[in-house]
A and B are shown apart, each in its own frame.
Chain A
Amino acid sequence: MVLVLSEEQELLRDSARDFAGNAIEVDWLRKVREQGAAGFDRDVWRQMAELGWTAIPFAEEVGGLGLGYAEAGVVLEELGKALAVTPYLSSVVLGGGAVDLGGSAEQKAEILPGVCDGTTLLTLAYQETARHDPYAIETSAVKTDGQWVLNGRKQLVLDGGSADRIVVAARSSGAPGDRSGLTLFLVDAGAAGLDVKPGLLLDSRSAAHVALNDVTVGEDAVIGEVDGGAEILDRVFERAAVALSAEMLGGIQEAFDRTVEYLKEREQFGAKIGSFQGLKHRAARWFCEVELTRSIVMQALRAIDDGAENLAEIVSTCKARASDAFRLSGQEGIQMHGGMGVTDEADIGFFLKRARVSELLLGDSAFHRNQFAELKGY
């Protein structure tokens, strides 16, 4: 594994940087919020699909580019810098990832081409508890007369309001907390008994509360093995935690860069505030966190592509580091911007907001420290 961008990856980064710099403005977050309608910019999404980014991690047979997470991460980092609101994580990584990893050849052929060209939006409904707890699933799946009947409630279903199809993780046997007994089902957004309530999160992104009341699907809606859903979920969560970390890295870097620029401009006591050692040293420590995060994100992206033996350890290390570093970046960014930092007029606050949501998605650092210790056998 080489922790350096290839020439192709550098080209991809430059193109993503150009695009994100021109097509996406942080100010868009204010507009979405004012409209009160949660969502994303369809135009931006269409252009991203035209550039091929939605197809990056999928095989060529299903319309993908046959590239890896190292490439997806390059794009996600640039999107993260712009705090771009897109359904990449929900549709490509979570929903698309579940179908890609667990789906039958027929399911993949039917669904993934649309995900690759951006016309089909998927998402994954997994979370039922306040904090990330992958197997704490109560939503029931009962088989009656060759049909599966789903009942339960989900929260934090990312972009649930705009998804065409939702992959639902439900319990077909066992008790909440059991790793076994989970099954994944593909449910159409318009299915009878499916109640999707989109909400606006504090970072101006959309996530839905989803209720399933006797939602009935056929056997062909099952993704992977009955009771074997955790095998797929574990891997989807690994990919998603790292993809999200790559996006977070962009936010971390951007909050840092903007703040360092501010330290060079803002004057108090007749001097640039960046000349004060109290701020210099904090900026230097923050710099270390940015660099460490960049390294582990690069390693984790490549570990997914290489199928590294200790992938799970790397993933937990990566998401824990990104979570802590992004929180620090949001907090220090605001603090060093002083009074302006806490106003809505300044953009820096949006980084703190995104930091908090992405920190808690897919496990915060406490969750991943615990995972890491478990994996290491202590």
Chain B
Amino acid sequence: MSDLEAFRLETREWLEANCPPGVRNRPGEVVWGGRRCQFPNEDAKIWLERMVEKGWTVPTWPKPYGGAGLNDEEAKVLRQEMARIEANAPLFSFGIAMLAPALMEFASEEQQLEHLPPIARGDFRWCQGYSEPGAGSDLASLRCRAVRDGDHYVVNGSKIWTSDADVSDWIFCLVRTDPDVPKHEGISFLLIDMETPGVSVTPIELISGASPFCQTFFDDVRVPAANLIGEENKGWTIAKRLLQHERAMLGETATRRGGANRKGLVEVARDALRAPDGPLPDAAVREEIAQFDMDRMCYGATFQRSADAARAGRGPGPETSMFKLYLSELNQRGADLRQRIVGADGLGWAGEGFDADELQITREWLYGRAATILGGTSEIQMNIIAKRVLGLPD
């Protein structure tokens, strides 16, 4: 038996024994971690503890950082075995997906040992302080100011669209440390504990009625200078790299906060069209669903091709730059199609006449409009493709 096969058997055995029923086949349930972590049930808490113990919340990370030091092949086996029993991921966070890869590349060893293990354990929940009211797509024009004062930076300004800032413990921030140089050259990357005096958070209500985004204010917030990642005024390099990780995350996952869609489009259409079997009687709806399914298949093949190339040591290829652009639009199209198919049943906002599923379809459709704006608008993604992949001139 090869080592990998042995690993598979061990893994399977351990998962069978340790993965509780409450975290199996529960699509859409996400544990984000943090001081105020909310678990969907007791099993999810036990599951996280057990996986943290194994280092399997971040299986490929080195052990000192809270991982298990698995190689890519072993990590794939673990994913496959978890998928086999439909086990939910024990933990997902911006800390894992976005911040940690940047820390591994740019932070000092001391900083890595301070911040990575708590991310692996889900002790702290991180949010991203990038956009500002005056700096959206033009991110580098940010003005949130950090002024050095002895061993500290004093931060003043505000950040907007800080996802989940109201439930986060720490924020990784881009701040302006030099206002007198070209805009890309005066930015620094700073980690700020949200419990520091002077930090305040106001949720922003969206068109869907939900408030996943906040505005975060900094009023004379004193941050230890030890929390600066990389060199002062060299933060833009880190910022760009982190945006790549964000794009990768957004290209890999459907929007996690929408929850799992309970029914497939065909099932929704069968209900709405009162066509329990046979060809869907509305040819336009049928055609649109087919196109959507086929596009998803093509996207899946592209994602696989990229992963296969990376495993074969030939990636990542230019195709990765289209992931965020295409997937966000694809998901948006799916939510829009779903809402149109259900017709009058999808028009409800509140009240007893509509069931929870119907109301959620409406909210998801509205929330879905954010997908092509957050993490770099579709237009910014296209600028990036035009410049970096196609080499078109400025």
Asked whether, in the complex, the Cβ of B280 is within 8 Å of the Cβ of A295, the reply is: no
Question: Contacts A291-B319, A378-B279 hold; do A283 and B301 have CB atoms under 8 A apart?
Answer: no
Question: Contacts A291-B318, A369-B290 hold; do A284 and B305 have CB atoms under 8 A apart?
Answer: no
What residues on A are CB-neighbors of B383 within 8 Å?
277, 280-281, 284
What residues on A are CB-neighbors of B312 within 8 Å?
2, 4
Shortest CB distance B90–A (Å):
29
Question: Contacts A317-B298, A372-B290 hold; do A284 and B266 have CB atoms under 8 A apart?
Answer: no
Asked whether, in the complex, the Cβ of B298 is within 8 Å of the Cβ of A370, the reply is: no
Question: Is B386 part of the contact surface with A, judged by Cβ < 8 Å?
Answer: yes
Asked whether, in the complex, the Cβ of A264 is within 8 Å of the Cβ of B301, the reply is: no
Asked whether, in the complex, the Cβ of B304 is within 8 Å of the Cβ of A320, the reply is: no
What residues on B are CB-neighbors of A285 within 8 Å?
382
Question: Contacts A281-B382, A288-B326 hold; do A295 and B394 have CB atoms under 8 A apart?
Answer: no
Asked whether, in the complex, the Cβ of B385 is within 8 Å of the Cβ of A287, the reply is: yes
Asked whether, in the complex, the Cβ of B325 is within 8 Å of the Cβ of A288, the reply is: yes
C-alpha spacing A264/B387, complex, angstroms: 11
Q: Count CB-based A-B contacts (< 8 Å).
A: 126
Apart from the given pairs A264-B393, A316-B294, A373-B280, 16 other A-B contacts in the complex at a CB distance below 8 Å: A3-B309, A263-B392, A279-B392, A283-B385, A283-B390, A284-B382, A288-B325, A288-B326, A291-B302, A292-B302, A294-B302, A294-B305, A299-B305, A317-B297, A372-B293, A378-B290
Shortest CB distance B315–A (Å):
9
Task: Select one of B290, B319, B381, B382 contacting A295, CB under 8 A.
Answer: B319
User: Interface digits, A289-324 against B, CB 8 Å rule (1 contact, 0 not)?
Assistant: 001111110110000000000000110110011000
Task: Select one of B305, B325, B392 contacting A298, CB under 8 A.
Answer: B305
Question: Is A272 part of the contact surface with B, judged by Cβ < 8 Å?
Answer: yes
What residues on B are CB-neighbors of A221 within 8 Å?
none
What residues on A are CB-neighbors of B298 within 8 Å?
292-293, 295-296, 317, 321
Shortest CB distance A271–B (Å):
8
Asked whether, in the complex, the Cβ of B390 is within 8 Å of the Cβ of A378, the reply is: no
Asked whether, in the complex, the Cβ of B294 is within 8 Å of the Cβ of A321, the reply is: yes
Question: Contacts A4-B309, A287-B390 hold; do A378 and B269 have CB atoms under 8 A apart?
Answer: yes
Asked whether, in the complex, the Cβ of B389 is within 8 Å of the Cβ of A287, the reply is: yes
User: Interface digits, A250-270 against B, CB 8 Å rule (1 contact, 0 not)?
Assistant: 000000000010011000000
Question: Is B308 part of the contact surface with A, judged by Cβ < 8 Å?
Answer: yes
Asked whether, in the complex, the Cβ of B294 is within 8 Å of the Cβ of A317, the reply is: yes
A contacts with B, residue count (CB < 8 A): 41
Question: Contacts A317-B294, A317-B297 hold; do A295 and B305 have CB atoms under 8 A apart?
Answer: yes
Task: Select one of A2, A283, A376 contacting B266, CB under 8 A.
Answer: A376
Main secondary structure of the interface of A (DSSP, over half): helix
Question: Contacts A2-B308, A291-B318, A292-B302 hold; do A274 and B393 have CB atoms under 8 A apart?
Answer: yes
Look across to chain B and name the residue whose beta carbon is closest to the beta carbon of A293: B298
Shortest CB distance B267–A (Å):
10
Asked whether, in the complex, the Cβ of A280 is within 8 Å of the Cβ of B382, the reply is: yes
Question: Contacts A3-B304, A275-B393, A281-B382 hold; do A291 and B322 have CB atoms under 8 A apart?
Answer: yes
Asked whether, in the complex, the Cβ of B294 is within 8 Å of the Cβ of A378, the reply is: no
Shortest CB distance A300–B (Å):
9
Asked whether, in the complex, the Cβ of A284 is within 8 Å of the Cβ of B385, the reply is: yes
C-alpha spacing A373/B390, complex, angstroms: 35
Q: List 26 A-B contacts (CB under 8 A).
A: A4-B305, A4-B314, A260-B391, A272-B392, A274-B386, A275-B393, A281-B386, A284-B383, A284-B386, A287-B390, A288-B326, A291-B302, A291-B319, A295-B305, A296-B298, A316-B294, A317-B298, A321-B294, A321-B298, A369-B291, A369-B294, A372-B294, A373-B287, A373-B290, A378-B270, A378-B290
What residues on A are CB-neighbors of B302 within 8 Å?
291-292, 294-295
C-alpha spacing A272/B293, complex, angstroms: 39
Look across to chain B and name the residue whose beta carbon is closest to the beta carbon of A281: B382
Look across to chain A and name the residue whose beta carbon is closest to the beta carbon of B317: A291
In B313-331, the 8 Å CB interface with A consists of 314, 318-319, 322, 325-326
Shortest CB distance B215–A (Å):
30
C-alpha spacing A180/B221, complex, angstroms: 79
* Residues of B near any A CB (own CB < 8 A): 266, 269-270, 279-280, 286-287, 289-291, 293-295, 297-299, 301-302, 304-305, 308-309, 312, 314, 318-319, 322, 325-326, 379, 381-383, 385-386, 389-394
Shortest CB distance A280–B (Å):
4
Shortest CB distance A374–B (Å):
7
What residues on A are CB-neighbors of B393 within 8 Å?
264, 271-272, 274-275
C-alpha spacing A280/B266, complex, angstroms: 36
Look across to chain A and name the residue whose beta carbon is closest to the beta carbon of B266: A378
In A228-260, the 8 Å CB interface with B consists of 260
C-alpha spacing A285/B389, complex, angstroms: 12
What residues on A are CB-neighbors of B290 within 8 Å?
369-370, 372-373, 376, 378
Asked whether, in the complex, the Cβ of A314 is within 8 Å of the Cβ of B309, the reply is: no
Asked whether, in the complex, the Cβ of B294 is within 8 Å of the Cβ of A280, the reply is: no
What residues on B are CB-neighbors of A320 within 8 Å?
294
Look across to chain A and name the residue whose beta carbon is closest to the beta carbon of B389: A287
C-alpha spacing A299/B302, complex, angstroms: 9
Shortest CB distance B316–A (Å):
12
C-alpha spacing A298/B322, complex, angstroms: 18
Asked whether, in the complex, the Cβ of B394 is within 8 Å of the Cβ of A264, the reply is: no
Asked whether, in the complex, the Cβ of B386 is within 8 Å of the Cβ of A283, the reply is: yes
What residues on B are CB-neighbors of A298 within 8 Å?
301, 305
Asked whether, in the complex, the Cβ of A378 is within 8 Å of the Cβ of B318, the reply is: no
What residues on B are CB-neighbors of A2 within 8 Å?
308, 312
What residues on A are CB-neighbors of B304 within 8 Å?
3, 295, 299
Look across to chain A and name the residue whose beta carbon is closest to the beta carbon of B294: A317
Shortest CB distance A2–B (Å):
5
